[in-house]
């Protein structure tokens, strides 16, 4: 789970990393009062779980409390890369001399962590890495030894960060370990005109496996920013929204993934991933079909089931019962194979729904679904 900037800021502060004074609100009037408390001027910052807020107009300087109120009104409700701004943080402005980038991230391939640091902070690190890779230092961190002062010195030196940042690098590692994070990132870490080092922006991704130890952050209310994914999650479906036009239902993650590939190979694009697992009940089928059909981009639906423990006749029964509750508005192509396939196919033949057709093979079914979607 990603944390909001203001939550990351709170954690940094607890671990002795210097951050600007700041408060959070969802009200423009309150924003005005906060700016007054901060001394008049304030940076108004959209609280959304995505980067590049500054560029999107979600980070603005306000010269006085009245301007802070106006700016907060402007930013609240804004849409930044699909995230609606529900809260703003007002932070005390800092006189920036230099902007740096520092982060620790889990490196799964290496079985360790990676410190990434650069003296060119402020902009997104991916851009710096793409245009000036030599400006980004990448130092492996042994998870057991962690980041000692010596290690932090090595990172700072490699990236060209000032010596004062060594202490922050050590503390940031403590944040990662104690908060069960997979990623901690400060961009920018700044040096002020007076030579102080402050974290002006923070991103922390917690390890969901440790959620029971990090209950203070509650559930992730932004985990499903797509409304269809939220509806599917509420029904307990394993659904991921994609951009295409062929709705997909299959059993088993591997089969569903290859179904997506085969559909793409037929020149169409899958509209979703939906794994019904071992469940083929009428409820799962109708819930799945309902979610898929409520996607206006879907032009055809492909059900691809290989009966193992789940028998194909149970799947066919599920489809027939789902057709009672869900109004099928687009063609449905069904491929049943494996356990009790013949009985399953007979059940669908008997139902003889005008929009349901069957195919014998996965390739044939995908080709047909793609054809129906592209000619629709
Ligand atoms: N408290 C602050 N004082 C002065 N400038 C700030 C402050 N907070 C952010 N900024 C400036 O705004 C830029 C963008 O803000 P940041 O919090 O990094 O948002 P994002 O990375 O989402 O664009 C920073 O690189 C920094 O230059
Ligand atoms: Mg930033």
41 HSE (CA, 13 A, CB side): 8
Q: How far apart are CA 38 and CA 20, in angstroms?
A: 10
Whether residue 155 lies inside any domain: the answer is yes
Rounded-to-integer distance, Cα 199 and Cα 287, Å: 46
* Total number of domains constituting the chain: 3
- DSSP conformation class of 246: E
What's the 143 CA to ligand 2 centre distance in angstroms? Answer: 26
Residue 4: inside a domain: no
Going by CA atoms, what residue is nearest to atom 16 of ligand 1? 201
From the CA of 200, how far away is ligand 1's center (Å)? Answer: 6
Q: Can you say how many angstroms the Cα of residue 89 is from the centroid of all Cα atoms in its chain?
A: 21
Out of 217, 237, 264, a domain closes at 217
Residues 164, 296 within the same domain: no
Q: Does some domain include residue 288?
A: yes
Gyration radius (Cα) of the chain, Å: 26
> Is 12 domain-assigned?
no
Q: Are strands 272-275 and 238-241 parallel, antiparallel or unpaired?
A: antiparallel
**What residue numbers bound the domain in which 304 lies?**
227-375
Task: State which of 191, 217, 243 marks the end of a domain.
Answer: 217
Do both 263 and 336 map to the same domain?
yes
Q: What span, in angstroms and rounded, lies between the C-alpha atoms of 331 and 312? A: 20
Q: Which residue has the least CA distance to atom 21 on ligand 1?
A: 52
Pocket-forming residues, ligand 1, beta carbon under 6 Å:
20, 43, 45, 51-54, 59, 91, 93-94, 96, 99, 122, 187-188, 200-201
Nearest to 200 by CA among 368, 302, 372, 59: 59
107 DSSP assignment: E
CA 121 to ligand 1: nearest atom: 25
172 and 67 part of one domain: no
Domain assignment of residue 14, yes or no: no
- Which protein residues have a CB closer than 5 Å to ligand 2 (ion)? 187, 201
Please check whether residues 371 and 233 belong to one and the same domain: yes
CA of 245 to the centre of ligand 1 (A): 39
- Tell me the pLDDT of the chain (376 aa) as tens digits: 999 999 999 999 999 999 999 999 999 999 999 999 999 999 999 999 999 999 999 999 999 999 999 999 999 999 999 899 999 999 999 999 999 999 999 998 899 999 999 999 998 888 999 999 999 999 999 999 999 999 999 999 999 999 999 999 999 999 999 999 999 999 999 999 999 999 999 999 999 889 888 888 877 665 556 888 888 988 888 899 999 999 999 999 999 999 999 999 999 999 999 999 876 677 888 899 999 999 999 999 999 999 988 899 999 999 999 999 999 999 999 999 999 999 999 999 999 999 999 999 999 999 999 999 998 7
Q: Which atom of ligand 1 is nearest to the CA of 55?
A: 23
Active site residues: 101, 185
């Amino acid at each position: 789970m990603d944390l909001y900037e203001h939550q990351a800021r709170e954690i940094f502060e607890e671990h002795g990393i210097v951050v600007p004074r700041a408060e959070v609100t969802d009200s423009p009037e309150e924003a005005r009062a906060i700016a007054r408390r901060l001394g008049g001027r304030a940076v108004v910052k959209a609280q959304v779980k995505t980067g590049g807020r500054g560029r999107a107009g979600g980070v603005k300087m306000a010269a006085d409390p009245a301007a802070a109120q106006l700016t907060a009104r402007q930013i609240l409700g804004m849409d930044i890369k699909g995230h609606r701004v529900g809260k703003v943080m007002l932070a005390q402005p800092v006189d920036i001399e230099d902007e740096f980038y520092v982060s620790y991230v889990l490196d799964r391939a290496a079985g360790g962590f990676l410190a990434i640091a650069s003296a060119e902070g402020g902009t997104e690190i991916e851009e710096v890495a793409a245009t000036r890779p030599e400006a980004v230092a990448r130092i492996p961190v042994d998870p057991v030894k962690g980041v000692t002062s010596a290690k932090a010195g090595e990172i700072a030196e490699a990236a060209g960060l000032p010596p004062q940042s060594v202490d922050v690098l050590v503390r940031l590692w403590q944040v990662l370990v104690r908060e069960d994070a997979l990623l901690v990132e400060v961009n920018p870490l700044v040096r002020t005109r007076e030579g102080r080092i402050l974290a002006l922006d923070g991103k922390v991704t917690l390890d969901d496996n440790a959620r029971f130890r990090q209950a203070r952050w509650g559930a992730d209310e932004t985990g499903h920013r797509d409304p269809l994914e939220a509806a599917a999650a509420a029904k307990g479906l394993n659904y991921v929204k994609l951009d295409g036009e062929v709705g997909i239902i299959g059993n088993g993650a591997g089969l569903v993934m290859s179904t997506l590939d085969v559909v793409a190979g037929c020149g169409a694009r899958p509209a979703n991933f939906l794994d019904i697992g071992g469940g083929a009940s009428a409820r799962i089928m109708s819930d799945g079909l309902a979610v898929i059909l409520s996607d206006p981009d879907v032009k055809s639906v492909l059900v691809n089931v290989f009966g193992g423990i789940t028998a194909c006749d149970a799947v066919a029964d599920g489809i027939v019962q789902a057709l009672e509750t869900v109004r099928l508005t687009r063609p449905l192509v069904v491929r049943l194979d494996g356990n009790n396939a013949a009985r399953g196919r007979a059940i669908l033949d008997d139902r003889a729904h005008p929009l349901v057709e069957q195919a014998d093979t996965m390739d044939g079914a995908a080709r047909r679904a793609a054809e129906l979607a592209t000619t629709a």
